Amino acid sequence: MFGFININKPSGMTSHSVIYFLRKITGIKQIGHAGTLDPLASGVLPVAVGKASKLIDYLDEDKEYVAGLKFGFVSDTYDTEGKVERFGLNTKLNICDIESVIPEFLGIIKQIPPAYSAVHYNGKRLYEMARAGKIPDDIPVREVNIYKNEIVFFDEEKQELKLQIACSKGTYIRTIVHDIGQRLGTGAVMCELTRVKSSGFRIENSLYLSDELTKEDIKAHLINPIDILNIANYELNDYEYEIIKNGNKFKNRLKTKGNVLLVKNGNAVAISTANEEFIQPKKLLFS
């Protein structure tokens, strides 16, 4: 098997558990995923099967989510998976209050990753330090790009909000929720998260996991990397195909530059780098 699968990860399941589930069904060990989803989160989890796992790093990195949050509370994890506590006064927000701060969370913004996250700090994962009660007070600030931050729904009585957020790689939606709550002076925790787009995959075309899923179902839903990777394709002739089998470079007759997906008879066979003169294969996608 070779290709990508657009999996719809259910809430309550880890991303690694999805991979274990698929390995068990297919009997294939070489399966990986792009863009880890926390157990609380559901939605699009791009999965690579077989040697397509070598192409994960070449997927687009932008993502889009629908996040549900509740005002009036805070959490050490910034979501309802952690220790949730009521925050301050029982202030009731209205839609105008929320609309007034949303623009502050658009474009390039700075955020501090949650203490309970997989970010590395001095050779350790932050969540490992947090569980040991050793949360550093100088977690590095990162810049992320928020392309869209729109209100989907607001229940003023329940003080619950849904946002649709499109963002760059490395964005923590939990942190956006937390920071909005701090900015409004009420606190906020994320209570649900659905990834609706990731790396060119969309939730409406995703495959749900179930105990009835078979190896044939997986095969039927495999996506050719040619159809999802946003990089130039280069159709090999027979001579060039023979050359790349040994990982050798060849003359660039199409003058394509940068990362190039080498294709033969509609199949991706290698990822390579190209300059005006030569194309050098980097990763072969066949044995």
Let me know if 211 is a catalytic residue: no
DSSP string, the chain: --EEEEEEEPTT--HHHHHHHHHHHH--S-EEESS---TT-EEEEEEEEGGGGGGGGGS---EEEEEEEEETEEETTSBTTS-EEE-SS-PPP-HHHHHHHGGGGSEEEEEPPPSSS--EETTEEHHHHHHTT---S-PPPEEEEEEEEEEEEEETTTTEEEEEEEE-TT--HHHHHHHHHHHHTS-EEEEEEEEEEETTEEGGG-EE--TT--HHHHHHT-B-GGGT--SEEEE--HHHHHHHTTT--EE-TT---EEEEEEETTEEEEEEEE-SSEEEEEEES--
Select which of 38, 57, 76, 137 is catalytic.
38
CB of 195 closer than 8 Å to CB of 15 = no
Token pair listed for 111? 């955020």
Q: Which residues are catalytic?
A: 38
